[in-house]
Amino acid sequence: MSGKAVLVTGGAKRLGAAFSQRFAEAGWHVVIHYNRSAEAAEALAAELPSAETAQCDLSDPDAGAAMVRDLAGRLDDWRCLINSASIFAPDDVTALDPRTNARSMQINAASPALLAQTFLANARSKAGRRVIQVTDQKLANLNPDFFSYTMSKAAADIAARMMAMATETGDRVYTLAPGAILPSHDQTAEEAERSHLLNLLERRTCPDEVADAALFLAEGPLAGGQSIFVDSGQHILDQDRDVIYLERKGDQP
């Protein structure tokens, strides 16, 4: 495979699918990673001009590194890795659930860091390589909900920033922080429609906006170590609960 390539983890659904579609539209060969969503991944790959799928359980760090090494051996111009896959499981700030915490820290933080390290050590591209770590606006607009998820995203953010400091000339590591985009946890579509207006602009941020930001990071001139927030200003607010619960209380921005 000689065309410019991107690996999108969790690339079959939700924001991951938006990344896959946007990069394909821009002429990239897209590798759609999935764990259990084989049908969705294959269906999306069939719709795109140039795409393939790769299965891996990111709770197994060895499997993730092996997937990256295999791709690095086959892709002649592998320019970008988007660490999009994550789990969003609830636990309480006063009662950490050890199993939830261990899975969140592995899938959301440790495995993405290992994928990035393996990518930067093995991938080939004369145009320079880009790692985009998807984080969350709530790291700047902190609330105590989804304790282990937030802890893991904070770890992923710090890891990406540290790797950005150590990358070779021509390579870049970024973070991309979306706000409330799609229904999550136990939300209905109607609840999401209302809760996703709880931002500075009082508008719903679209997946395409996040995907456009990722493409800019992959192709643009931005220096490494920087973060882009795509959240209609949500991270500028001071929200003491997740918008899921603010909406249910009837709170406004």
Write down the pLDDT at residue 142. 97
Specify the CATH architecture of the domain 4-186+205-233: 3-Layer(aba) Sandwich (3.40)
Tokens 């105590």, residue?
Answer: 144
Per-residue pLDDT of the chain (253 residues; tens, 9 = 90+): 669 999 999 999 999 999 999 999 999 999 999 999 999 999 999 999 999 999 999 999 999 999 999 999 999 999 999 999 999 999 999 999 999 999 999 999 999 999 999 999 999 999 999 999 999 999 999 999 999 999 999 999 999 999 999 997 889 999 999 999 988 888 899 998 999 999 999 999 999 999 999 999 999 999 999 999 999 999 999 999 999 989 998 865 5
3-state secondary structure of 125: coil
The answer to whether 61 and 110 are in contact (CB under 8 A) is: yes
**Long-range contacts formed by 186-189: CB under 8 A, 24+ apart:** 186/244, 187/244
Write down the pLDDT at residue 252. 55
For 125-143, letters b (16+ CB in 10 Å) and e give beeebbbbbbbbbbbbbeb
> End-to-end alpha-carbon separation of the chain, Å?
48
Write down the pLDDT at residue 9. 98
- Tell me: the pLDDT tens digits for 96-127? 999 999 999 999 999 999 999 999 999 999 99
The answer to whether 91 and 147 are in contact (CB under 8 A) is: yes
Write down the pLDDT at residue 250. 82
| C-alpha 144, offset from chain centre | 21
Write down the pLDDT at residue 182. 84
Write down the pLDDT at residue 212. 98
- Tell me: the pLDDT tens digits for 178-210? 999 988 888 899 998 999 999 999 999 999 999
- Residue in 126, 20, 114, 96 with CA at minimum distance from that of residue 59: 114
